Amino acid sequence: MDNLLKEKVDRKEFLKAAGTGLALGVLGTLLTKVHAEDVLPKTGTKKRYAMVIDLRRCIGCGACAVACKQENNVPLGYYRKWVKLGEKGRYSNTRNYYIPILCNHCEDAICNRNCPVHATYKTPDGLTLIDYDRCVGCKYCMVSCPYNVRFAHPYRKTVDKCTFCAHRIKKGLEPACVVTCMAKARTFGDISDKNTEISKIFATNSIQVLKPEQNTKPHVFYIGLDEIVANAGKDDFRYMKYYRRDILKEEIRITKKEAENHYNILKGVSNADIEYDYRLKSNT
């Protein structure tokens, strides 16, 4: 830590648990800037969808997570995306930092390489998707994902995650979380096209990614991503499990059967259930 901060810091002052957030006692630094050419394919100019999240705008309202659950009928107690809360500073001068978390749709996705039945696959435009007909629910991709953004779907018996709302992209629409963000913190588009808004943001801002040391070439980028907040709790199983907690008992206090009935009522009604084609072309 001395090398990272270049100053001697007392461990007790560095990190303290504070509710659902993390109280950080020192100032951090921004992660290394990422350039578009670092994540684009080396050959050709194929379309590559990506998302930039401006953390200077994010207010941590969680509307993105709610919109995702409604659009994709995500079961109660599970999330395709959420907002990580970090509390940073020295008492009594602290502030909250928010980092929206979702599948990074990596160019070099570890989950794609490690799926034993090839259920996880890459589309020509860069999305990482799951063929639910192929998936056997072994959870190997969940273990492989360095971002902890996959979950075992309790009723479909497959793995599930963010799809960038592929069914909306196909219709020329933006993902539900982008449309819903009241602070306009999210920008989605093709980073291979220099004329798109997202490419212009790349050209005029310092862009960072989560866990760059994994070298997966993520396609979810951040502006103003603080290294200390981003890394806080990433190796703490209890913190990671917070977003996989038994929400049925802790918060809304309904039974698993009631939660399953809720899912089944919306099954086939949500936009994703109606329009999303998850199958590999080789399967049809």
**What is the Cα–Cα distance from 151 to 74, expressed in whole angstroms?**
11
Q: What are the pLDDT digits (tens) for 99-136? A: 999 999 999 999 999 999 999 999 999 999 999 999 99
pLDDT value, residue 228? 82
Reported as a single tens digit per residue, the pLDDT across 138-151 is 999 999 999 989 99
Predicted TM-score of the model (pTM): 0.82
Residue 167 has pLDDT above 80, yes or no: yes
pLDDT digits (tens, 9 = 90+) for 22-54: 333 333 445 566 765 666 655 555 899 999 999
Whole-angstrom distance, CA of residue 92 vs CA of residue 74:
38
In sign, the C-alpha dihedral spanning 210, 216, 2, 11 is positive
- Range 92-98 contact pairs with CB under 8 angstroms and sequence separation of 24 or more: 94/23, 96/21, 96/60, 97/55, 97/226, 97/229, 98/55, 98/58, 98/59, 98/60
Query: What pLDDT is attached to residue 247?
Result: 60
Average pLDDT over residues 151-178: 95
pLDDT tens per residue, range 247-276: 666 666 788 888 899 899 889 889 999 999
Report the topology of domain 30-81+100-225+252-283. Alpha-Beta Plaits (3.30.70)
CA 141 to chain centroid, in Å, comes to 15
Q: Are strands 159-160 and 21-24 parallel, antiparallel or unpaired?
A: unpaired
Residue 45, CB-side half-sphere exposure with 13 Å CA sphere:
3
Return the domain boundaries, the chain. 30-81+100-225+252-283
Residue matched to tokens 């290294």: 227
Distance CA 1, CA 129 (A): 37
